[in-house]
Structure formats: C-alpha cells, structure tokens
Structure 1
Amino acid sequence: MDAIQASHSKQQAKKPGNTSPSSKQSPPPTRSNIFKKLWHWWSAFTGPKKDTFPTDIFAQEQLRRARLVSALLILVVIVVALLILSATVRSLWIPTIILLVGGVVIAFCNRAGHTTLSSIFYVLLVDVALVGFFYFKPVPALSSGNMTGLDLFILAVLVGGVILPKGLIPFSGILQVLLICVIFFSRPHDASLTELIQRAGNDYVALMPTLVLHVVGTTLAWLHAWSVERALIRASQAEELAEARSELSQQALLITKQKQRLEEGISSILEAHRQIAAGNLAARAPVHEDQELWQIGHALNLMLMRIQQQAQDYRSLQATYKEIDQLINVFGEARAERRPALPPVRTPLAQRLLVVLRR
C-alpha cells in the first residue's frame, strides 16, 4: 500500500501543473515585442510626440495621420534600399537621391508636428520620383509598355487619400492627371506607342484608361476621407453628449447632496425648537459650516444664550428680592430690646445689606 502511494506521488510530481513557482522560468521575449519596440523607436524618430496633441477627437485624428506618415516612410526606406541595389543603372540614381532627400525632409516636418505639410511633401515626393523616372530613363521615347508605368501615379492618389485632409484630395488627383498629360504629350513616342495610338483613334482615347483610373481612384479616396470625417464628427458629437450627460449627473448628485444637507439642517433646528418649547433652554442647534442652514443655527444659539442669561438674571433677582423681604420681615417682627436672629442669605445684594445691618 505504501509503495502504491509513493508511485502515485511520483506521478503527481511529474505533472506540469504540480511544478513549484520557483521552477517556472520567465518566457523569452517574443517577436511582437521586438517589432513593437522598433516601431516605437521609428515613430519617435520620424513623428511628433503624443503629448503635444490635445485629447479631442480631431487632434487625435491628426496624430493618426502623423503616425501613418511615419509608417509610409518605411516604404521610402525600402524603395531606396532596392534602388541602391540597382545602382548600376544610371537612370535610377536621380529618383534614388530624390527619394532619400525627400524622405529626410518629410521626417523632419512630421517630427515638428506639421502633419499636413509632411503629407503634401510625401505626395509630391512620389510625383517627383515618377516624373524623374520618365524623364531620365535611358530611352527617352515613350513606348506602349510605358502606358502601364503611367498608372503608377495612382500611388500618389492612394497615399493622398490616406494621409491628406479631405479638401486636398481632389487637388492631388488633378495634379496626377496633369502630370500624366504633360509626360504623355511632351515626351517623344516610339513606333509601338504610335501604333497603339493609331489603333485607338487618337491620343486621348489611348490615354483614357489611365485617366479614368486616376479619376475613379481620386473619387474613392475622397469618399473614404469624407466617411472618416463624418465618423469623426459623429464621434465628437457623441463625446460631447456623453460629457453633457456626465455633467448633468454630477449636478444632480450635487443637488441631491445639498437637499440632504438642507433636510438634515432643518431637522436639527426643529429638534432644537422642540426642546426649547419643552423648557430646555440649554438646547443648541448643531452648527457646521458645510451645511446650508448653519447661519440660522448660529443665530438661534446666540438667541438661546441671551434668553438663558436673562433667565438666570431673573432668578437671581427673585432670590435677592426674597432674601431682602425675609430680612425686612425679621426686623419688623423683632422686639426693640432684643437683637433679631438674622436668616442666612446667598445673593450678593442681600449679603451686603446684612453686613450693614450687623454694624
């Protein structure tokens, strides 16, 4: 039997749930924690401080756009790294330099808290990089394959829809359309592009799919920004309504407490009046400055003190009158040849009279 219990205890000791707390080891740091630290470092290096923004919804939305600019700068770093790996192609040198310098300028502006300005610079950086690619590529003439390259300007539209304010998104779309038209009509066309234009009928028909893409993309980006703005307005109204409700509840609570203190003050004063009516002039109303009726209670106590003092003076006067009356009666009833036996007196005036009579 003892052997069975010993084996059972050994099996329980082998279970993971029976291990002692001292034998547990702290889990190693996960990758998510490492990525979180890296992101905090990057956002602090390229973005504004969180404490510089107020707590209202629109300020927090500006902080969100600033964080998005910091996140999009990571893409600039990746693209610059890929272009540096392709540095043997001279046509990529100028876009690489433009992206590098522009990324530094955007990071400084975003870190200084100029979120809208850094967003505009980011969109312009994408445009300048794409224009530099088309103007400094080895073959200056545009080909039919470059028509898909013109679609890359939609990146500026998408980026603008994410980080630009709603009012600037249409201007960003118009800028992309103008840049596409300038590149298409100012650069020479090779035989493949000329054949494509001839099959389409004219230049505008050949360029129409790219333009439609950018118009639709700009519209979708604007609708997204509009819906976000409407959501922010509704959230702000809901927050204001919640603050108003909280303020009303606090006011109702204060009114309830004030009413309770008022009722307690009235009850204490009424109790003092009952005791006074019963003849207890030593009764006093409780006086606390945190109560609304403390001045009335204080005035009532002063009046009771004066009434009590007057009552004491009246009782003293009655006692004096009684003792003097006794002395007068004693001297009136005493014989002339005998000295009368004087009664004891306690009041000051009667004692003085008794001293004079004993002389």
Structure 2
Amino acid sequence: MIQNAAARLVFNLPKFSHNTPLLRSLHWLPVAAHIRFKILMLAYKAKNGPASSYLKALVTPRTAPRSLKSTSTTQLVPPSLREKVLVLYSSTVSLILAQNETTYLRELPTGQKLLCNRCPPGYRLQKHCTETHQTLCQPCDEGLYTEVWDYIYECLPCRSYICRPHSVCPSGHIVKEKGTPFKDTVCEPCRKKRSADGHLACGQHTECKLDERLLLCGTNYLDNVCVNCSSIVRQGWVKFIIQPFIEIFKNHNTWMLRRFIGSLTNSLDVCLSNQDCCFQQLEEWFSKATEQQVSNLPEIMQAAGIKSHDITNIIEQKLTKIQDEVCICRNILPDHK
C-alpha cells in the first residue's frame, strides 16, 4: 500500500493504477524504507505540488521568509531543521525521477559536453559515448540485473529467489538424478557403444543389417548410421549425414563456430542471438547443399579461422569414411562402376 501510494503521488496516477515503473523499482525496499519513502513523497507534493491543506500547513514555514545573513551580525544564519529536511527530500525525489531518464550528460577532458544514451534495463555500460560513437551497452550475465536506465559498468546481483527450469541433458548424456524443487537435474555421459539424446537410458548402437554398410560410426551422442549401397549411390549421401553432422556442430558449440555458421548460411544475426535457430539454419543449408559443398566444409572452416581443430578433424575424418564407403558401393553395383 505504501509503495502504491508513493508511486501514484510521483506519477499523478489514479488510485488503482498500481503497476507503475517506480513501483517496480521499489519492490526490494524494506518496510522501514517504504515508510520513509512515503513521507518523502508527501513532503515533496506538499512543497512542490497539489496536496491536502493540512499537509501544506505542516511544511509551510511559521516565520516570514528570511535571508541567510543576519541583519544584526555579519554571520550566516543556518537553515532550520525543517528547511534542511525539505531540501533533502526534494533532492532525493529528483534523483528517483532521474531513473527514468534515457540519456545523461558526459563532460570530456576538453570541456565539451556530450548527450549520451543510457543503457536500458537488463544492460550495463561497456563504453561511454564519444564524439563519433554512441554509448556501447552489454547484456547482464545470468544472475545479475539492472532495473532502470543506467550507465554503470557492473550489473547488480539478484538476491531474490527465483524459479528456473531444470536443465535438459545434452546429447550423449542421460539423467543420473532427476531435478527437484531445490536441486537441478544431474546428467552423466553414456558409456562406449551407447548413445542417448537426454533421456533416462543410453541405448545400444544399432547393428547394421546384412545388406547395409556402416556409413558413420556411432558416438556417445550419435547412433550408427547404416545405409544400403543402392540408396547411397542413387540418392546421394548428403541426406544421410545431415542429423549426425548437426549433432557434431552442437557438441562443439562456440561463439566462433556460430559466427561461421551464420556466414555460411547468410544468417549471421540469427546465429549470434539464438543458437537453436542457428542450428536450424545449418540443417536447412545441409538439406540444399551438394556433395561437393559438404566435402569442402573442412577447408572452408579452416579458411574462416575456426580455432577448434577437433571439430575440423572430426568432420574431415567422417567425410573421408563416407567417400570410401561410396566408392565401395559404386564398385559393388554394376551399373555404377
């Protein structure tokens, strides 16, 4: 109630307009501070705006306005306690109202003043604005926040308890311990020759049938990929490796790799902002790519400066294995020798 009343006084809102920006900014205040804030708001309204007559009477000086300098001496006369309190209240309210400002003045060493943009809620200042560039902001990390427009270098830690969804085990892992209201899910990797996609049990790798060849060996997050020679020669091999290759990229996920995927698929903004959409774009690229384009992936990745040599080597080894199997199949099928 105290928060609502104070917020409504500042913003001149009707009685039931509870959802105000200032109210959201005050949710963390202790009760004692709520009471002081309400008094502060009432004093500010009584001194500077409409308020009840009895409140105005309380803050109106009971003596005529006087100069700071005494008429009988050359000494300055200090303000009364009431005047000090009103000045303090007014200054504090001005600071609170300034929280909704979206710009701030910055003075350069030369004396020039710049009007800079503040960072929006949820962001912190990375670099002040200059004569040629506006303010550079950066999102707060997990567990940190900013609630008002600001230009501070560090976000504030979240102190309130909040609910978060349980973690989902990544590919190649199973649920070791289910999550509870007080503990997150615990995952563990699958043993050799088994794979999983985040479920409760690791499955045995699929055994290829007599008329099939092992195109890609399974890992702890991928099952064996088995195909028959007729399918791989007549329909091409790209469609059989799309999902395995997507999983390889996911399990070596880095910012640099997503940047490469964004350049490859012409969706750089999407890849840098949403990794799920990024891998969807990569899957779409694979579905349209030729065998030659997929075969050239390791060279393209090296030319792009991908620092993770593991993923480049893994893809290169798997492509070599695929091409060897394709050659064997073409020799087996008489029409494709």
Structure number with greater CO (CA < 8 Å, separation at least 6) is 1
Say which structure is richer in strand: 2
Q: Flag whether TM exceeds 0.5 (same fold).
A: no
Q: TM tier, shorter chain?
A: under 0.3
